[in-house]
Amino acid sequence: MQLSPSLLLLALLHSVHGATVMAPAAQSTQFVTLDIVNGPVSPDGFTRIGVLANGTFPGPPIVATKGQTLVVKVNNKLTDNTMRRSTTINFDGVFIDADNVFNDGSPFVTQCPFGPGESYTYTLPLGEQTGTFWYHSQLSVQYSDGLRGTLVIYDPEDPLAHLYDVDDASTVLTVADWSHNSSVAGLASYISTLIIPVSDSGLFNAKGRYNGGPEVEYAAVSVAKGKRYRFRLINMSVRANFLISIDNHTMTIIEADGVATVPNEVNILTIFPGQRYSFVVNANQAVGNYWINAIIDSGNPAHNLNLNVTLSRGILRYEGAPNAEPTAPMGSGPTGAAAVPLNEYDLVPLDPIPAPEPDFRVTFDTFMPDLAPAMWEINNSSYVSPKVPTLVRVLEGDTSKFNQSENTFLFPANKTVEITILDTTDEGHPFHLHGMNFWVVKPNGTDVVNTVNPIRRDVSVTGDTNLTVRFRTDKPGPWFFHCHIFYHFAAGLGSVIGAGLDEVGKTVHPTEAWEDLCPAYNALPPSEQ
């Protein structure tokens, strides 16, 4: 960690959802370098070549403190032509300042990808934001090949700090689906067969097993009896949902996607791709080993006989317990009357902000015609990346006439938009908005509209009841709003919110390094794109 001398900033005004708050008086910079390389990786005992940050899966954890500016230099050193060789990185859930949309990392929306031998530096002032985030490749389904890592912004003044004793590197937990095949093959197979690739294994803290594979040692999380732990759980899945529980322990939710919540005690929760939760676990049971059940809960296992949902799990190990697996059977957590599940509509922000009344109301009808090639549609239009990134066009002054396939919906600046995603009876789609949070005024699973103290977050799932979210268009720019199941997204389930595009030329002034991205990308041979 490198800290630069503090910069005194004069009462900088910083707009959060229309409310004006003071930014911290002192700021420092957190410099991080990530080398993106191809290399062997075997989290479930099967060795494959991955696309990896610094050669590991997950990539190195990024940690920052409230008020810092995160500066991440990404060096593309990819050499393997069987996977995508260009890349862009998105820092999932991190708010992007109004003048900084060009650092959002969205390929063909806010930037051109950068190829082998090239570097790009993302500069992200973190402002007042704290909580649990992650980073991943945003290009195609490349993050399936391994380019994912955790990002935590610690809050030295956490209002919920009295609820836990430990919150450090050991309490950042990840679940992820893992495939032995490259994402390029997986995507081609999905488009031609309509069968979404089912992962070979589910990983808890980057360890897992598959049918017929070696008995990889499960990841153990160490706790001391009598202490309370703030676990930060990140779902880095491409496809899979996980059902999380810890034998004989409850979980008190205190954060959803970077938003502190009123404590809510449950014993089982579902976490969708892209989502994050913090929960407190009190190590108040007998010293021993307990299963952390991280059961993959989506996809048809018949489509990949390697996958055994029972085998994705970890161990909660008390200090003094033997270095062994729990003796309890490998279960899948509380069911029936014993289950106290997390309902999204029960989440209440610690700092509630009523949802503003919408100026615009639109609906999204998601749909996949039952015909190959697989193309998901929003209102009968599949998202296809344009050749020229949306932001490049906008900065050239061209803010109208987007191709239908760009699914770009335009709204004036400083308005409130409400989007209802009509019920999707087929399966849940975790919709993710870039750069800012939305208010989830009607989550799946209830018909009650809550505009008084709805949860704010950046990923919420559709289901068999409509999902309705609201957000502000205070930050001029094109912002991705897409399904976080990246196979669905790559097959068209994406859109761009064009917020106040007429204002972008006045507020957004990208760097020369950014200007150079598209000419460099367009000059690459297809094998390096």
Ligand X SMILES: *[C@@H]1O[C@H](CO)[C@@H](O)[C@H](O)[C@H]1NC(C)=O
CA 101 – CA 479 distance, rounded (Å): 8
> Looking at 88-96, 158-166, 290-298, 477-485, which segment touches Cu ion (CB under 5 A)?
477-485
CA 486 – CA 491 distance, rounded (Å): 8
Q: Which of residues 429-468 bind ligand X (CB under 6 A)?
A: 430, 444-445, 461, 463-466
429 binds Cu ion (CB under 5 A): yes
CA distances from 270 to 235, 277, 297 (A): 10, 10, 8
Determine if the peptide bond prior to 356 is cis (ω within 30°): no
Decide whether 158 or 237 has the Cβ nearer to ligand X: 237
Decide whether 148 or 429 has the Cβ nearer to Cu ion: 429
485 binds Cu ion (CB under 5 A): yes
CA distances from 129 to 125, 259, 309 (A): 9, 9, 35
217 binds ligand X (CB under 6 A): no
483 binds Cu ion (CB under 5 A): yes
> Looking at 37-45, 158-166, 260-268, 286-294, which segment touches ligand X (CB under 6 A)?
286-294
Count of CB atoms within 10 A of residue 373's CB? 14
Decide whether 98 or 378 has the Cβ nearer to Cu ion: 378
CA 109 – CA 119 distance, rounded (Å): 19
Decide whether 30 or 241 has the Cβ nearer to Cu ion: 241
Q: Give the bridge partners for 461, in sequence order.
A: 430
205 binds ligand X (CB under 6 A): no
DSSP string covering 170-237 = GGEEEEEEE-SS-HHHHHHHHHHHS-PPPPSEEEETTB---TTS--PPPPEEEE-TT-EEEEEEEE--
CA 124 – CA 112 distance, rounded (Å): 18
Decide whether 150 or 158 has the Cβ nearer to ligand X: 150
Q: How far is the CB of 392 from Cu ion (least distance, A)?
A: 27
Q: How far is the CB of 444 from Cu ion (least distance, A)?
A: 13
Q: Which does 348 bind (CB under 5 to 8 A by kind): Cu ion, ligand X, none?
A: none
Backbone angles phi, psi at 142, to 5 degrees: -60, -25
386 binds ligand X (CB under 6 A): yes
* Structure-block tokens of residue 393: 């066009």
404 binds ligand X (CB under 6 A): yes
220: nearest Cα among 236, 234, 233, 207: 207
Count of CB atoms within 10 A of residue 522's CB? 11
Q: How far is the CB of 298 from ligand X (least distance, A)?
A: 4
503 binds ligand X (CB under 6 A): yes
Q: How far is the CB of 142 from Cu ion (least distance, A)?
A: 17
Q: How far is the CB of 414 from ligand X (least distance, A)?
A: 4
Question: Which positions lie near Cu ion, rule CB under 5 A?
Answer: 429, 483, 485, 488
Question: Which positions lie near ligand X, rule CB under 6 A?
Answer: 32-35, 54, 60, 175, 181, 185, 189, 197, 211, 235, 237, 239-242, 244, 247-248, 270-273, 285-286, 288, 294, 297-298, 304, 308, 310-311, 362-363, 365, 379-380, 386, 403-405, 409, 413-414, 420, 422-423, 428, 430, 444-445, 461, 463-466, 485, 500, 503
